Structure 1
Amino acid sequence: MVSVDRLSTQSLWALMGLAIRNGEKLGIHRDGTFLGLSPLETEDRRRLWWQLQYFDLILAIRLGITPLTLMADWDVKLPLNIEDDDWTPDMENFKFPEERKGLTSMSYCLFTYYVLDQQRQYHVDKGQFELSWSTNQSVPKHTKEAFIDQLEDGLNRIFLQYCDPIKPLDMLLQLIARALTCVFRQRILLTISEHPGHVDHEHRGLLLAASMQLLEYSVITHSHRLLKDFEWFTTKGFPWPAFMVVLVEASHENDMDKCQRIWSLLSDLYAANTSLLELTEDRRRLHAAELIVAAWKTCQSKGTVGQPSQKPELVTTLESRLAECLNMSAQRLGANDGHKDNTGEATGLETPQNLPVEQDATPLFDLDFQDIDWSFWNSID
């Protein structure tokens, strides 16, 4: 897993194909109980196979595809919820240790395997597994919601009820589990919102609440003192679609109190996740900065954010960062003397739009959900 951010996803995807095919050649895709193997060897093979599937899934999400092995008819059972020292030298050859009740050192791996297994089982009647089930229009809304309820119930029963809130890993597990089910529900609501005729005020309210909740999870994950040592694990997976929903609703909101709560959340989000201010490292950060400035001026022109003197420090900071990017881009383009790279586009930093002025504020953020390129905000660089 440490290589995920050090090698290209394409390279890792190719290597993962070799690893899985070699695993199949060794028969690791079959559960050891069907092959007459010892419990210890069976457990080792289960852990190896499920970790390969999880790693394969991570790479597939980055590439926007579904791994073929998830659709295959393999029968490896989930690893046991046990500690390594539950295996003793005098243990009978064909006797598994009894699973522990509660969390073990394996629980944090089992959590991801369980979520994957539940989705795989849920779609077995269709003969395939697809990562986009929550946004698939052919799957009825009530069917999706029933699965999420079932998944959440299982996570509560098997994992979350045993979490100790003062243990960092337990807290992280709770946050990830809650965010996961919230993401699924938010995606269902967002899919409906992309069709204007199907959206009412109540639906938009539910979508905004789910999106704000996801951003609040992100704030806690990046700011809580107990989770500081796990920043390496929480840097990926920022909820960009939820961020865009909140930003769109901020510009459309006519209630001053609600609008100010939204801007307070956005300020907390950037304060907790300072990497969002590094605009040149991710295109989405740059465009998000532009949209925040535009949305603020739109809200200001409508009078939903109070007096001009109440301008958030976040907006001032982003205006300054955007101006710096604009200057850097101009200098880089001047140094390159207008040369083009092999794609035909000018080299150097992506140039932000001109900063908005007061008289142009009203039409700046005239966007609704169907106008947004969600594939851009869902992309993983």
Structure 2
Amino acid sequence: MDENLIMQTFGTSKAALIDSLRSGTEMALAKANFLRTTRVDVMQAFVMYLIPLVRAEVSRAHSALVGTAIRLAECMGLHRDGTFYSMSPVEVHVRRLVWHQLCFLDLRTCEATGPRPQIRPGDYDTRFPLNVDDSDLLADEAPTQDKSYWTDATLIRIRAEYVELRRSLWFDIVQIDKKKKTLTSAVIKVQKTWNTLTGKYFTMIDDTIPVQLLAKHVLTLGVQGCFLQVLHRYLFSAAQRMPDRLRQLLIEAGLMQMEHAIALETTPELAKWAWYKGAFNQYHSALLLMVEVYAYPMRKDAPRIWKCLDYIFDIPSHLSPKQKAELVITDLRDRMEVYHQMRKLKATTQMEERVGSLNASSLRGWDDERQSAAGAGAGAPTAAAPTAVSDVPAPLLPLDFSPPPIERTDSTTSNSRHGSVVTGGDVVMQGLEDIDWAEWDKYFPIEQNTGELNVSDFDFAKFTGGGFSGPTIDLAVPSAQDLADVNFTPTFYPNMSQTVRMPGGSVELSEIIA
């Protein structure tokens, strides 16, 4: 509700009214002995109390409350389907709704606070709520099959199905690490589910009806997030370079997530559900793609990504990509520093050793990539090397950035579309060795998943870190190295990109000063 409407209707502020309702709910739950009750309606009330709590900001207290609700639900038998107890259709349906809402809350607190999901696959046999209208359950002959059109339960059913997928992936990742499952099988599972759910539900959805449009965004956010869940840890792997086709899949999934999250938040027709956007919209994909386009500004999707990032992080659009990334990362660093001080957290010795060697190893990696690209040919796209340690915010650099693929024109060039490069005449796959590319091609055809990530004619010599929006200084110097040796104090213009025009192109003044 709007703040003014609340003031007119209840004569108090929105914050005060929420506090009052929350306190009243807690008092009612305590009087109902919710920790000892076996009544489903009390459980319903407890879960409804948790729904607005577990959204964007989740604490350990929220995680503990959800854990309590799950244990109480299991003690009440909600993890067993009501059909095993000869219950009425309404009772069966309500129990399914409550259990699958708990499954969502479990996964949400798990993502936010770290521990694995408390509800594990195989621990329950409660079925999905039937895709039927509430009135159908009161009929003389209650339905036993899903309807093929939009109903009162379609939205919760969509969310329950993708939550089931995300839960199984948590444990699939553990199996991948133990070499009991392959990464290929996990990614293909996500793609199969995406094909199934979109084929099943998109045909039911009318985009002109707000609640159905909401469901479309929720489905896309949920399933595309599964690709990130499986692939994100390989993006900056120090051991192996992520194959370009996997990287393309991850970038596209993250971009779809961000665009649908923004639509969910900004579409006027969906304003009545905006209060719950924090339960769906997360910053994981935004941070991943920000680091990606900061390291590799030649990415063809960079303009779309930065447009999303400007909205998500509320960044002034006139800043250069480098300035935008540093603004977000330094702000995040400062907030984490305050949090660490308040919580009196300590880093492990392994982490301290890793951070201590970060700058040196990162700069060596940048230098190696620059030399490698220079040897491969002047036109090869490669990441711009920093000029000094102070020029690179430490949090932005993983231990080893994976360089863009180097393309050769000689007879030893590999035609592989999986990100192979040529070394000494031999083809070396710079990816994850357990990927079955033959199986991969069945679900990600080369026509759509080409692995082509970059703008073909990107020229680092002319890249200034963004659109020109500041004064240009003409300096009669032959090279960037000579300019770096010059001692002078320039006049800085607040919030403006300053460019030094040089024989080989333009360079940001802040880069040279650093």
* Native 8 Å contact 1:250 1:263 kept in 2: no
In the alignment, the residues of structure 2 paired with residue 60 and residue 315 of structure 1 have an alpha-carbon distance, to the nearest angstrom, of 28
Question: Is 2:150 the counterpart of 1:109?
Answer: no
Show CA shifts across 1:126-165 (max 9, x none): xxx6385698574412101221122112212332221111
Match of 2:409 in 1: none
Match of 2:107 in 1: 57
Letter in 1 for 2:289: V
Deviation at 1:86, TM superposition (A): 1.2
Match of 1:262 in 2: 302
Question: Is 2:283 the counterpart of 1:240?
Answer: yes
* Native 8 Å contact 2:286 2:309 kept in 1: no
Cα distance change, pair 168–360 in 1 and its aligned pair in 2 (3 A): farther
Letter in 1 for 2:219: A
In the alignment, the residues of structure 2 paired with residue 20 and residue 130 of structure 1 have an alpha-carbon distance, to the nearest angstrom, of 19
SS in 2 for 1:82: coil
Match of 2:322 in 1: 296
Match of 1:283 in 2: none
SS in 2 for 1:197: coil
Match of 1:221 in 2: 264
In the alignment, the residues of structure 1 paired with residue 60 and residue 162 of structure 2 have an alpha-carbon distance, to the nearest angstrom, of 25
In the alignment, the residues of structure 1 paired with residue 188 and residue 325 of structure 2 have an alpha-carbon distance, to the nearest angstrom, of 41
Cα distance change, pair 76–365 in 1 and its aligned pair in 2 (3 A): same
* Native 8 Å contact 1:23 1:29 kept in 2: yes
* Native 8 Å contact 1:54 1:113 kept in 2: yes
In the alignment, the residues of structure 2 paired with residue 106 and residue 74 of structure 1 have an alpha-carbon distance, to the nearest angstrom, of 21
Show CA shifts across 1:253-282 (max 9, x none): 464xx57x6256424543x44xx349xxxx
Match of 2:124 among 62, 74, 88: 74
* Native 8 Å contact 2:59 2:113 kept in 1: yes
Match of 1:364 in 2: 392
Show CA shifts across 1:286-321 (max 9, x none): xxx9xx978525xxxxxxxxxxxxxxxx799x69xx
Greater share of helix: 1
Match of 2:184 in 1: 142
Match of 1:353 in 2: none
Match of 1:9 among 53, 59, 62: 59
Match of 2:220 in 1: 178
* Native 8 Å contact 1:135 1:191 kept in 2: no
In the alignment, the residues of structure 2 paired with residue 107 and residue 221 of structure 1 have an alpha-carbon distance, to the nearest angstrom, of 18
Deviation at 1:114, TM superposition (A): 1.4
Match of 2:94 in 1: 44
* Native 8 Å contact 1:208 1:246 kept in 2: yes
* Native 8 Å contact 1:164 1:171 kept in 2: yes
* Native 8 Å contact 1:82 1:97 kept in 2: no
* Native 8 Å contact 1:148 1:181 kept in 2: yes
In the alignment, the residues of structure 2 paired with residue 254 and residue 369 of structure 1 have an alpha-carbon distance, to the nearest angstrom, of 16
Q: 5 Å matches for 1:119-130?
A: 130=171
Q: 5 Å matches for 1:340-351?
A: 343=344
Question: Is 2:166 the counterpart of 1:166?
Answer: no
User: How many residues are matched?
Assistant: 303
Cα distance change, pair 264–73 in 1 and its aligned pair in 2 (3 A): closer
Cα distance change, pair 51–195 in 1 and its aligned pair in 2 (3 A): same
In the alignment, the residues of structure 2 paired with residue 364 and residue 175 of structure 1 have an alpha-carbon distance, to the nearest angstrom, of 36
SS in 1 for 2:99: helix
- Higher Rg of the two aligned structures: 2
Match of 1:305 in 2: none
Deviation at 1:72, TM superposition (A): 5.4
* Native 8 Å contact 1:296 1:315 kept in 2: yes
* Native 8 Å contact 2:79 2:99 kept in 1: yes
In the alignment, the residues of structure 2 paired with residue 341 and residue 166 of structure 1 have an alpha-carbon distance, to the nearest angstrom, of 48
Cα distance change, pair 173–361 in 1 and its aligned pair in 2 (3 A): farther
Identity %: 18
In the alignment, the residues of structure 2 paired with residue 6 and residue 213 of structure 1 have an alpha-carbon distance, to the nearest angstrom, of 19
In the alignment, the residues of structure 2 paired with residue 9 and residue 48 of structure 1 have an alpha-carbon distance, to the nearest angstrom, of 22
Q: TM-score, normalised by structure 2?
A: 0.49
Cα distance change, pair 25–240 in 1 and its aligned pair in 2 (3 A): closer
In the alignment, the residues of structure 2 paired with residue 98 and residue 344 of structure 1 have an alpha-carbon distance, to the nearest angstrom, of 52
* Native 8 Å contact 1:163 1:174 kept in 2: yes
Show CA shifts across 1:78-105 (max 9, x none): 111111111336x15xx54553212212
Letter in 1 for 2:344: T
In the alignment, the residues of structure 1 paired with residue 247 and residue 104 of structure 2 have an alpha-carbon distance, to the nearest angstrom, of 34
In the alignment, the residues of structure 1 paired with residue 144 and residue 201 of structure 2 have an alpha-carbon distance, to the nearest angstrom, of 19
Match of 1:251 in 2: 294
Match of 2:199 in 1: 157
Structure 1: runs of 5+ lacking an equivalent: 124-128, 279-288, 298-313, 327-331, 333-339, 346-357, 373-381
Letter in 2 for 1:100: K
Range 242-251 or range 24-33, more displaced: 242-251
Cα distance change, pair 250–15 in 1 and its aligned pair in 2 (3 A): closer
Cα distance change, pair 39–219 in 1 and its aligned pair in 2 (3 A): closer
Letter in 1 for 2:87: L
Structure 2: runs of 5+ lacking an equivalent: 1-50, 347-385, 402-514
* Native 8 Å contact 1:295 1:364 kept in 2: no
SS in 1 for 2:119: helix
SS in 2 for 1:68: coil
Q: TM-score, normalised by structure 1?
A: 0.63
Match of 1:212 among 248, 255, 266: 255
In the alignment, the residues of structure 2 paired with residue 202 and residue 80 of structure 1 have an alpha-carbon distance, to the nearest angstrom, of 38
